[in-house]
Amino acid sequence: MTQSSLPLVALFALLGLASTTGHAACPAAPVGSTSDTTVILKHLSDSAGIGPVSILDATREGAVVYDSTDDALKYCDGTNWVTAMRMVDDGTTCSAALEGTVKYVSAASPPYKYCNGSTWQDFSQGGGGTADLTPSAFSFTPLADQALSSVVFSSSITVAGLANAAGLGVTTSINSDGGPYFNINGAGWTNSGYVENGDVVQLMMTTASGQKTSLSPTLTIGTVSGLWSVTTLDVAPTVAFSDNAHNGNGGSSYSYTAGIGTASSDRYVVVSFQHYSNTFGTAASSVTIGGVAATEVVNSFNGGSEASLWIANVPTGTSAYINITLDGSTNRRASTAYVLYGLESMTPVVTATGTGAPPHDLSVSVPAGSVAVGANYAESCGGFTWSGLTENVDSKVDTSRRYSAASASFGSAGTQSISVGSCTSSPASVLAVWK
């Protein structure tokens, strides 16, 4: 095939070079009519333009004209007019004399054909026919039980199925979950690029911050997409007693500082608040833990006694200032703090309350891999007895009023028998279980 069959990109690159080599001239433009169009490419500070040959100087080096007589594009190389591309009618027979000519066939796909000297061919840089830019289907091996918020890498795929596409970069992109990226043949990580047959592609992403959570980034090559599913592990949560504080004086708020262990994105702090008020129904209205607003999960009233549990996700710091605000004045106040890690949700799977004559039955059905916190308050009491939970606090608020708190972890699912025995004077008990 001769030079006249160069792709248009190569043609205009050639024309750009020709336009900068100087001010040589060609004979009069080989056009069929003075109304035929010419293009003057800009050379340094010279002017450029497009218009009929009768107006523009069509003899300058780098000029491009359309010759309606030959139905061809021609450019001035500084000495002669060179045919760059020639169009012929659809019905024209390809021959050696027409090698490099182009025809347009509206009913064909692709519609442009070129003559290789004997037959009409589709344009393709791969040669030998129409380019197929649809790769073979591909997929990535799913990953399960991955650590939370961790960078992970996929298995690799090798691009295949592209036909007559050598040198044609097939658009490749990635989107969706996990801030994903990919690399091609071990090069740098990116979220967009081009691939060819034989290229090796690998993905990278950050896993979810929650347990048993799946993220599925999608890699798209041309028109074909493949998912990569990555699921985080199911971690059994933990619970640990942290601190407690009490005050036998009255007031409408209570605060103290508690150690809350190692900072982590999955750290939760549970605070119990137990108190007695001569104004029955007085309750804690808000709780903040390390500046984070806590959510009340359960409360219990018995006369002037109240016991309640509150929870907040507190990811930073190793200690927390706990502030409890009431909707009225209370006579005696107490609180405990627990640190929980690895919860699937800060919403408890089950709660229980107890009032009236002790012991309070707080038995509940729990899932495997769950944790519980319980709290109790009573007037004129000598002590508490917990069953099914491990007692962490049993302390006087003043000479005769007491509060307690207990916790446990459950490895197996089933009904857990839980109770707390206390004194008969206004006891109030609460329990919450988290997974």
pLDDT tens-digit map of 231-282: 998 878 999 999 999 998 889 999 999 999 999 998 999 999 999 998 998 9
pLDDT tens-digit map of 140-175: 999 999 988 899 999 999 999 987 665 556 778 887
Burial 17-47 (b: 16+ CB within 10 A, else e): ebbeeeeeebeebbbeeeebebbbbebeeee
CB within 8 Å of 416: residues ≥ 6 apart? 363, 364, 365, 366, 372, 388, 408, 410
Q: Give the Cα separation of 92 and 83 in Å (integer).
A: 18
Q: What tokens were used for 65?
A: 């004209």
Q: State the pLDDT at residue 6.
A: 34
DSSP string, 375-432: EEEEES-S--EEESSEEEEEEESSSS-EEEEEEEEESS-EEE--EEE--SEEEEEEEE
Query: pLDDT band at residue 48, thresholds of 50, 70 and 90?
Result: very low
Q: Decide: 178 and 137 in contact? Cβ < 8 Å.
A: no
* Cβ neighbours of 222 (radius 10 Å): 17
Whether 370 shows a pLDDT value over 50: the answer reads yes
**Domains detected in the chain:** 3-92 (no CATH), 143-232 (2.60.40), 238-434 (no CATH)
Which pTM does this prediction carry? 0.55
CB within 8 Å of 337: residues ≥ 6 apart? 241, 242, 243, 244, 258, 260, 269, 270, 271, 272, 289, 320, 322
Arithmetic mean of pLDDT, 282-286 = 94
Residue with the bigger pLDDT between 420 and 179: it is 420
Dihedral in degrees, nearest 10, Cα atoms 279, 285, 287, 292? -170
Q: State the pLDDT at residue 9.
A: 33
Residue with the bigger pLDDT between 298 and 65: it is 298
Q: What tokens were used for 85?
A: 């591309």
Say how many CA atoms lie within 13 Å of 299 toward its Cβ.
Answer: 19
Which residue has 């599913």 as its token pair? 229
pLDDT tens-digit map of 89-116: 788 888 887 877 788 777 766 677 778 7
Q: Give the Cα separation of 395 and 420 in Å (integer).
A: 15
Sign of CA dihedral 117, 120, 124, 129: negative
Whether 209 shows a pLDDT value over 50: the answer reads yes
Q: Decide: 165 and 133 in contact? Cβ < 8 Å.
A: yes
How many angstroms from the chain centroid is the CA of residue 350?
A: 32
Position 310, amino acid: W
Q: Give the Cα separation of 32 and 253 in Å (integer).
A: 98
The most confident of 43-57, 120-134, 362-376, 394-408, by mean pLDDT: 362-376
Q: Give the Cα separation of 290 and 257 in Å (integer).
A: 9
Least confident of 32-36, 290-294, 397-401, 404-408: 32-36
Q: Decide: 195 and 149 in contact? Cβ < 8 Å.
A: no
Adjacent-strand bridge partners of 274: 307, 334
